[in-house]
Structures are given as structure tokens and as C-alpha cells.
Chain A
Amino acid sequence: MAVYRQAVLLDRLLFAVKYAPCQSRGCAVDPRAQYSTAASLNEKTFDKILIANRGEIACRVMKTCKKMGIQTVAVHSDVDSSAVHVKMADEAVCVGPAPTNKSYLNMEAILEAIRHTGAQAVHPGYGFLSENKEFAKRLVADGVTFIGPDTHAIQAMGDKIESKLIAKAAKVNTIPGFDGVVKTAEEAVKIAQQIGYPVMIKASAGGGGKGMRIAWNDEETREGFRFSSQEAASSFGDDRLLIEKYIDNPRHIEIQVLADKHGNALWLNERECSIQRRNQKVVEEAPSTFLDPDTRRAMGEQAVQLAKAVKYSSAGTVEFLVDSKKNFYFLEMNTRLQVEHPITECITGLDLVEQMIRVAKGYRLQHEQKDIPINGWAIESRVYAEDPYKSFGLPSIGRLSQYQEPLNLSNVRVDSGIEEGSDISIYYDPMISKLVTFGSTRAEALARMEDALDSYVIRGVTHNIPLLREIITHPRFISGDISTNFLPEVYPDGFKGHQLDVESRRELLAAAVALYITSQLRSQKILGDLRVSSAPMESSCWELCVELGEGQHHVHVIKSGNVYTVEADGGKVEVCGQWNLASTLLPITVNGADRMLQCLSREASGTLVLQYMGTLFKLQILSKRAAELNSYMPEKVSEDTSSILRSPMPGTVVAVSVKPGDTVAEGQEICVIEAMKMQNSLTAAKPAKVKSVHCKAGETVGEGDLLVELE
């Protein structure tokens, strides 16, 4: 893979976003190159900026503001009153109650906050009002600068059809297709044949993948036409249909552009965002393993053409689908700062927020296209508060009882807007942070990501680190063989966590028993003068029985000093470590290799929960005799889950489709739960009569709450 490098001398201004430059653990990249920027300190921009957002992106923007000497104003909802972004800002204004449409989307309140605080400009971050032309318009009317493109560009790129037309006109590759009113099924077939199968049919007005149908032949086209035209008319009141080439196994690669108000525009290389679930990105990297310099340049130049065509200013992203033959097609343009912008910052050394602020003030770009480097490799993992075992991630909520970012590692950047003690609530996006690692090569960046994920302490909510770590260590990902279908292809039966092989299981067993013995020995260490002398067991050799998953393992342990020699499953492992029982992180050495484990709980009953290779494993460790006796203990019958419907996640009940006495068929919808922008339909696991309903529409429910009982 060609790593595109340009030796560029950049003016050094260390821009450390939560970046600890200490401890360089074997990364050859000059850290200055990661965050330095060519800004001139003497440029006057704004005195005060209001950030109309929350969470990590609000904090991210404020960091640059602070660096540039700009006062910051935070807006927040009432539940966010002690959030990190509020504490970080110089001023904060409460703009309403928790629901986003009453606070972060409440234009009136935000405009009032701007007037009240005298902010001269507004940075919208991403999401919320960032691509709302109405908001941008009203700001301009109030004489406040919107840090982003002007309303014309927002509007042009916000409309799917218009944006495609503009793209076509600007000679940007677009997906061959047809958009407009299709009268009959036969007309649809004709169009489909012209484009060539497979084709995708959907209502023009529908967003994302909603109502999308794929047709591989004429018959399927007719069917797709019927569904989509009905839906178009009924759901959107807009008859137009979109029929276009369906790209099988595409990659999602996007180009970051940066333009000023003087007609200059640059492309800042690509970001590979193919790893997605439900159209949401999970792992991103820059550059892409897939692009060669020519393709990159072609994509970059087309992106710039598009930006120029709409007189774009500020930072923006042009998204492309790339097929296996490196044909690329314009998808859409995002007229805002992207979530995954840090990886571009890492490889180019530019501070995108700073550039956005400069451009908004009317300054010219400081760089020319030849100044834009690809320095090394950067990877971003989106750390979410969600359960990856449920369709690759269902939201979870809770209070971060313990939270520690792996900032002790070098070449790690964590963009977050939460801290220990913060609440992850049902009202907002469940993202905990963006964990970014970089290195001079992809392998280096990946290795660092592994370390960083292992050392990331998150307690109190379920998180997706198990999935992230599996992705970045998967052979297909490492070889760069990915597409937007990566997750369903690699995990056709859903994500199941790290699968242990004989060796890694032995390693886990060894670490667990060593920890167990340490804690057992510590129990005997009562300090001070004792009236009745103690008779601790002096032992250096143990026979233990460990239950892990379905299996039982007999383990023989010999301790000498800090070293435990563990015999299990017919093999021998030597572990040593610090064995601090208070620490959440457990750095140990297994057969000479360094490993970072985490201990989540240690109970008197011998139950131990360890995070190993990202995944949580529950083990029960008993002495040989206790295990023998334990076999007499009865299995407790767990409740019959097929007749009980519990909420799989915290959220709001949107609808309850049944009432007591109703008969439901297997798979019939019982109720719908909404959480964090996602609706989930819960269905009956078997045909049955509804016994009782324990929820009603509009109610808030917690994870595991009983919703409906069947007979």
C-alpha cells in the first residue's frame, strides 16, 4: 500500500487535544506533526464564540478556542448543567429541559443565549443545528457569524436530488440512476435495464437506507416499484422515486475538503469509514488502505470541484462509495465538521476547527494543495455506551462510576465530553469518546489501538470495547479487506465476543488464578499486634478448579515470589505482575509477553470478572474440594424467557400493540421501544395469549424491565 508522504515543513504549534506527550513507547512519528498547524497567532478572529452543541464535540471546539484566545459560551440542557463542556466554557447558558427539541434544537433559546452573552460567532459542531439552513439564516440576520458554509451551500447539499444534480454538473462521478416520477412498473424496468442490475429503488424523500429495496432482475424491479411508490406517496407525500445502480460490497470513503470565502479549496485526503453498523460508523482510519495516489487525487479533485461549484467555504466532507474496481461515486456532502475529523488532523497536522474559525472570519487558506501531507496513519474507534452483543450495539445508560482514558500511552488522542461520575442518559447520543491512535505505519497505529483499548477503564455502563478490539485485530481488517458489510459478513450470527483458543484460554485461566491466590493470601494479612495469634496457611502450591463458560478446568499453581507457574489444560504458563488488588488495570506478563487485563469484580464466592482481549469473561474459581462439594449444589431454574418480554435497553415506550387477553402469533410486534434515536420493535417469541401488560406508551423503562407477560 502506498503511503502518501510529503515532506512539509509546518510551523510548529503544538496542539494537544488531551494528548500526553510523555512516554514515547516506540512510535517514530514526530508528535508535533500530528497536531501542529500553520496558524499565525496574530490573526484576529472573534472575541467570543458560542458552541451550539454538547459532549465531546463542544469540548473539542472549545479547546481550539482556548488555544486561539477566544472566549467560549456553552449552551446546555438542565440535565447537562454539570457536564464537562459546561465546566470547560467561560460562560454557560441553560437553553431548556433534557429532550433535544426543547434544548439543543431550541433555536429561540439559543439565539437568545447569543444575544445575552454577546457571542460574535456560533460553532454548531455536528448534528443538532449544524446543517440547519434556517438557523444559519437567522444568525446572519442577527449579525452573528455561523462557523460553517453559507446557507446556499447548506441548502444545496442538504437536498439529495439537488446535490446530485450539482455534482453531475461539476463533473463529479455520480451513481448512474434516475430520479423523478416513474409512472408504471414497466417504465421502472426500462430504467433499471438502462442502468444495469443490480439497482436500488426507493422514495426520493426517504432518508438514509429507509425503505430501500434492491432488485436484481425485472421482476424484483416491478415489486420494488410497487412498494416504493406506495411508500413515497403515503409516507412522504412526494411521488418521486430514485432508481440507481446498487453497488455491492462498497467501501465508504470520504474526502475532507476545506475552502475559504475567496474561492480557494483544498482536499485534505480521505477517511476510510467502511466499518459500520446500521449505517453508523464504528471504526475509521486515514488514509485508506485501498486508495492509490491516482484514485486519491481523482477523488480529491472532484471533491474540490464540487465544493467550488457551490461556493463552499469552511470544512466539509464529500462522501463516496467505492466499488471493488476503485470506481467511486458521489454519495453526499456533509456541510459541517465530521465526527471522525481527528484522524485527518493526525495525518495532515491541521487543526480543522481553527481553520473553520479563520475561514469564517474571512481569512484566506494558509495552505496550498501541495502542502497537505499524509504523515503516518491514524485510526479512530468510536467508543459507545452500548451493548455490542445485541445487534452490534444497543444503547445502554448509566453513571460512569469509574472512568480512565488511556492517556498515559503515547500517540493516543481521546476526544470526550464526559468524566468519571458523568451520566450517560437516554436523551443523547450514547457515544463515550473517540479514541484515536496514530503511528508512522498502520501496524503501529493498530498496535497502539490495541493497547489503548485494553487500558481504557469504563465502569458503570456497558460499552462496545469488546467489539472494537475484535474488529481491529481481525485478519480481514488488518489486511484491509473491508466493506460496509464487514460486520454482518464477519459475524453472521451476531457478535459473540472474543473466542478463546486453547492458548489464550490457558493464559486467561493463569491470570485469573494468580489474581485469586493473591487475594486469598491477602485475606490473611491482618496487621498490628494481635491478642490471639493468627495461624495463616503457608502454602505455595494450589489445586484449583475454574469454571469458565461451559467448561471446568483443573488448575495446578505454584507460587514463587511474584511469579505463578500455572498448569492447566495440559500446558504450562508463567505469569507475573504487580497484583495490586485495588487497581482496575492489571498489567501482567504471561510467558514473557506483556498483557493488560482488567478486573471488574472479585467476589467472595470465587467469581471473578476479567476483561481479557477486550471481552469480559466470568470465571468461578474454587478450591478442588469446594468444587467437589459445589457439584451437589442444585442448578437454580431461571425464568422462562419465552413468555416474558423485558426491555433490552433503557428507553421510552413508543407504542404497545397488545392488551391483556390478546392472542399473538410468533414474531408479532408487541411493543416498540425508542432510545437514542433508535426504534426497536419487540416481538413475541412464541404464539401465546397476552397475560399482562406492564408498560404503556410514553413511559420510560430501564434495561431488563418487565414489559409484557405471555401465558
Chain B
Amino acid sequence: ITALSWHTYPWSVWPIPLCSTNQAPSGWMGSVTVQMFVCLLQGSPHIQVDIYERLPVPFGLVRFGVAPDHPEVKNVINTFTQTAQHKRCHFLGNVHVGKDITIQELMQAYHAVVLSYGAEGNRTMGVSGEGLPGVYSAKDFVGWYNGLPCNKELQPDLSHETAVILGQGNVALDVARILLSPLDLLKKTDITQNALETLAASKVQRVLMVGRRGPLQVACTIKELREMVNMPYTAPDMLPADFQHVAQALADLPRPRKRLTELIMKTLNEDHRGRQGVKRWGFRFFRSPLEVLPSADGSRASGIRLAVNKLEGVGDAVTAVPTSEVDEIACGMIISSIGYKSLPIDPAVPFDFKRAIVPNNMGRVEETTGLYCSGWVKRGPTGVIATTMNDSFDTARTILQDLESGAINVSVSRPGSSEVVPLLEKRGVRTVSFADWEKINAEETKQGTAVGKPREKLLDVREMLAVAWT
């Protein structure tokens, strides 16, 4: 799922279309880049912005990435909606850029095009057994409980007691939290009905999050960790041996890292030994995956073999180096949460395969004119909403500068969507407008209200289109 942003920039008497394409859920951080349009729309009264999105629904990761039990994080949708409803902004969903239309065709129709299609792929562990049933990417698991159409058939196997998550970032914590949350809390969220039913039958009692380095390098942030610590009916499951040199290092840490580390260490001091009937969650440090171990009949994953690491270097540059020691954890499910990865969208667009981003200078795509990028596809797939939002403002400023300096030539008018939409129609592609999305929104809200949820997401693209075009 990729999001492309296309901006067309109107100028003087001719509307300058700027087109932005948001595709794929991972590109929805791409929806965050919609905020860039506010800058652009405010930058000149002549700017028009068209947003192309592969799915019929907007908002990207805010809809498909943010966990269902974090509804307050989704409040930003209200800001996006205001932007999308601006009279000089048009949302065009159900358009697959790269297939239904090429980047070059868009660049011909618009003065400027912005790629904000995010990271559709994920980094793989690169170990044998990774393809066994029972091994999932966090991207697919999150897509499954969040109603991403292409993940609706995932059917994760939750029939075993222990689940291992590779990775200790916020996505790993989201996955752990959804696996261990009491059903009473989840059933009031917009988690899909299918996921709710699967979780209701879950036998998972223990979730371990494995990281290559130590407690001082853990990648999650404190709010998410605090939620795990406070989760009812659970207890932490840590290894004190993993924390050997941590206490001494505390005093010199910057405040955010210090508070986070103190919170993890607090869990070591609590005595949970006597507690019955609680589910357990914990970190395992200094471990890298070596191999996914198959069950006796080879039909599924039954464990993971891990290299034990030692740390080398200092400060942020600390790296994990494997020793000869190995460890094994028996488990029935492995979720790899080691990072997303952008993919190339179109052969006409340069792509840096090593860093998995579109090579750029302050958002201007290298070796091109009138092509820009923003968000994860520009900087790499990390950061919270505010990070990506700030980045998109930077790209907007770059575009406005280029308009002013003449680097974008607006003396020639460009047709924008008045050329693109008929072209798409000729190819059998009908677009979904923001008003059409609002019909989908109303239907999902109506179905959700009937079962005490904020919405019941439609899982099928054809169903979305049927509602959109009624």
C-alpha cells in the first residue's frame, strides 16, 4: 500500500494543480502529509491540491496503523477532514498510481507532484523458517486488526500459550497490548469484529518482546510502556540479569531515556510471583533471531533460536555483536516488528534501495524537476504523527520557495484533474470523492453504533465502492 501525493499548483488565472497521491495504508502517514496542503493552500490563493489515494478511504496509517485503543491519537482526523474539505483541495480515491496512471502522466498534468506514499513493505528477519505458518509481520498483524482490506484473511493462529515479538518499538508494544488486553476494553473500540472474535478465543498467555540490544536502547516510548505496566490482569516478566549495568548509567541519561528506563526497572522490583491467572508480558534483551524452529511435523513454527549478543561502542552508536552463545524460546507465534520499508513506485522515479527512500534534497526528488517527496518515503519509516507532520510542513515550504523562485515554471498552465480524470475513466477507473468517503464513513459509524463501537470498518474494497457510489 503506497501513498502518493500529487500537488498541482494553480497560479494567476490558471489554476495550478498540485497533486498528491496517498496510496496504501503505510502511506497514510501520508495522510499526515495532507497537513502540508494547509501550508500550500494558505501559501497562495491560486494553489489547488489534488490527493490521489489507492484505497477508497483516506487517512492512511491514522486509520490503519494507530491502535484501536488509541482513539485520541485519531483525533487528528478532524484536522485532516477540514483540510480535505477546503474548496481548493480534492480527494480522489480508488486510483492506483503506477498502474492506473503513471508518475510521468501526472507530472505532465500538474505543476508539481509530491510523493507521500509511505512504506508498504517490511524488513524481513532473513532467517530460515521465516516462511512457516505462525510467523507474521507486525505490518500484516496490525493491518489485520485494523481492517486493512488486504490483510482480512490473515487468520493468525492464537492457539498457543507464548507469542514472541521481534522488536521493541511502539508497534511491538501495540501488538503485545492488543494480544493481552481484556476483551471488555477492546470491544468498545473500532477493532474489527473478526479480530475481536479471534482474540476472544485466544490462548495466548505470555508475550515476549525481543531486542538485539539492551534496556538502554529500547525503542518504544514511555506512554506505550506505561500502558503495558498499567494493563489490568497482567504482570511483567523480565530477566534481572538483563539489567546488570543499567542502574549506574541512569544518572547521566537525558530525561526522556532516564524516565523510560526507570519505568522498566520499576517492574523488576515488583513481586508478582504469587499471582495466579494473570497474563505475562516482558522484554528479552541482547537477542537476535537465528532461525525459526519448526514443529516436529514441520507444519508450523514452534520456537525461535536466538543469538546472544554483547554490546560494543558507546552512546547512540552502541551496536549488538553476536557471541557464540545461543538461546531458544518455545512459542507458537512469532511476529516480526523490526521496521517498515518503502518500495519503488514507478521506474521513472529514482529510488535508493540501500536506504529504501526516494533520494531527495529537502524534499526535492533528485534528478527531477517538479517532483517532491514527503514523510516516510522521504526520511525513512520512523517517527510519530508530529514528526511526519513537521516534515510535511518542511516539504510544503520547499515547494512554496520553488514557486516563488521560478524553479517550478507556472507560466504554462496545466490541466490537473480535468485531464487526469477523463484519462482514468477511459481506463475504466472511477474515482471516489471526499463526499463519497463521507458516505462510507456514515455507514461504518452506523454499523458500529449498533454494536457499541465507534465504527465497524468495511473490510472489502468492493463494498466500500458500492457504498461510495450509491
Partners in one complex: no
